[in-house]
Amino acid sequence: MTWKDIWTLAEVKDGNLHEVSFELLAWGRTLADDRDCRLCSVVLSDEIADSELEHLFGYGADIIYVLKDPALAHFLVEPYARALVHLVQSYQPEVILAAATTTGRTLMPYVAVKVHAGLTADCTGLEIDLDTGNLLQTRPAIGGNIMATIKTPEARPQMATVRPKSARSLPFDADRTGEMVVVDPPNDLATDRMRFERFIPDATEEAAIEESDVIVSGGYGMQNLANFQWLARLAKVLDGSVGVSRAAVERGWKPYPRQIGLSGKTVAPKLYIACGISGAVQHLAGMQTSENIIAINLDSNAQIFQVADLGIVGDLFDVLPALVYKLEKQREAAPL
């Protein structure tokens, strides 16, 4: 048997597929077409309806491997890893892609060790070498200052994680169909070494920064917590969320889950607006691969301007209110 096909790992919560499952199919579709092989979506869950699963066909999957077991009700690494290892050994994929979510970043390294596979984290580019089937995986390293291309010359499968939101899902095609393969779970899935107890949702209604297409970010230059109202208002008209630099977390203006940078989160939204952030290398590492970057800062020598597509040198508290009033006025005037 040879290693073949491109796999993507779907994520399920409460019986529903997470958007990232479809984004992964967009990455995988290109690779599968180049390689002339099948694109397979793997679903591990306790319970999920066929009608929900079939969305994966519409977004590009040729095959769905679904393995259901009560032990997979919540993410616990051991049952999930056993299930995935079982699938890998049964069907031998050439490539497995997962999202760089807390689940993907936990499961993939655990499984890569068990199946002796190469794994590359947080890829921003993926290509397949048609002669060898080697996956060329490009990722930022050393705080985003270099781009490294990594391959796995011999070991199979080749495993990689990609950040959520790093690709758009393909347009949904309701007529697309495929083959659904229901896989019997191996009988040793359950673990008594770990148990899920409860989920506590974030108190805030703001979207998580890693799931936002638009991030409005504030740093030391914001001066105090009250000034963050401007960022919240700007984020609101742009349907984005608010992030912060380390300086702002250290002053207690926003909690750590909103910190962007080397010791916080790495984000790559479609639009990043940096307000009062000087652009220390640590911060740049967390956001410099954003598609569009706008920076507002008082200091014309601030490093943030080196990565900005549009830079405004001026007082934040002049520019932000002017901008926010104009945008809010436009939105009021525009019929929804």
186 is a contact residue toward other proteins (CB under 8 A):
no
Which pair of structure tokens corresponds to residue 321? Answer: 């209110």
What DSSP element (H or E) covers 86? helix 77-91
Binders of other proteins among 118-147, rule CB under 8 A?
A: 118-122, 136, 140-147
Any contact of residue 4 with other proteins (CB under 8 A)? no
User: Quick one: which segment of 39-47, 152-160, 178-186, 225-233 binds other proteins (CB under 8 A)?
Assistant: 152-160
Q: Give, as ranges, the residues between 66 and 85 that touch other proteins (CB under 8 A).
A: 74, 76-78, 81
Span of 23-31, 178-186, 195-203, 217-225 interacting with other proteins by CB under 8 A: 195-203
The nearer residue to other proteins, 229 or 292, going by C-beta atoms, is: 292
Residue nearer to other proteins on the CB measure, 40 or 296:
296
In terms of DSSP bridges, do strands 118-123 and 95-99 run parallel, antiparallel, or are they unpaired? unpaired
Q: Does the protein bind other proteins through residue 236 (CB under 8 A)?
A: no
Among residues 15, 73, 184, 256, the one that binds other proteins under rule CB under 8 A: 256
Q: What is the DSSP letter of 193?
A: S
The span from the CA of 188 to the CA of 238, in Å, is 48
Least distance (Å) between residue 61 CB and other proteins: 23
From the list 176, 238, 251, 328, which residue makes contact with other proteins (rule: CB under 8 A)? 238
220 burial level (CB within 10 Å; 0-12, 13-18, 19+):
middle
Sites for other proteins among residues 10-49 (CB under 8 A): none
The burial of 196, by beta-carbon neighbours within 10 Å (0-12 exposed, 13-18 middle, 19 or more buried), is given as exposed
Cis peptide before 157 (omega within 30 of 0): yes
Measured distance CA(79)–CA(172) in Å, rounded: 32
- Our CB check for other proteins shows the closer of 29 and 254 to be 254
Residues 287-316 that bind other proteins (CB under 8 A): 288-289, 292-294, 300, 303, 305-315
Q: Which of 53, 214, 247, 260 binds other proteins (CB under 8 A)?
A: 214
* 96 touching other proteins, by CB under 8 A: no
Say how far apart CA 274 and CA 278 lie, in whole Å: 9
Backbone torsion region of residue 238, taken as left when φ is above 0, otherwise alpha when ψ lies between -120 and 50, otherwise beta: alpha
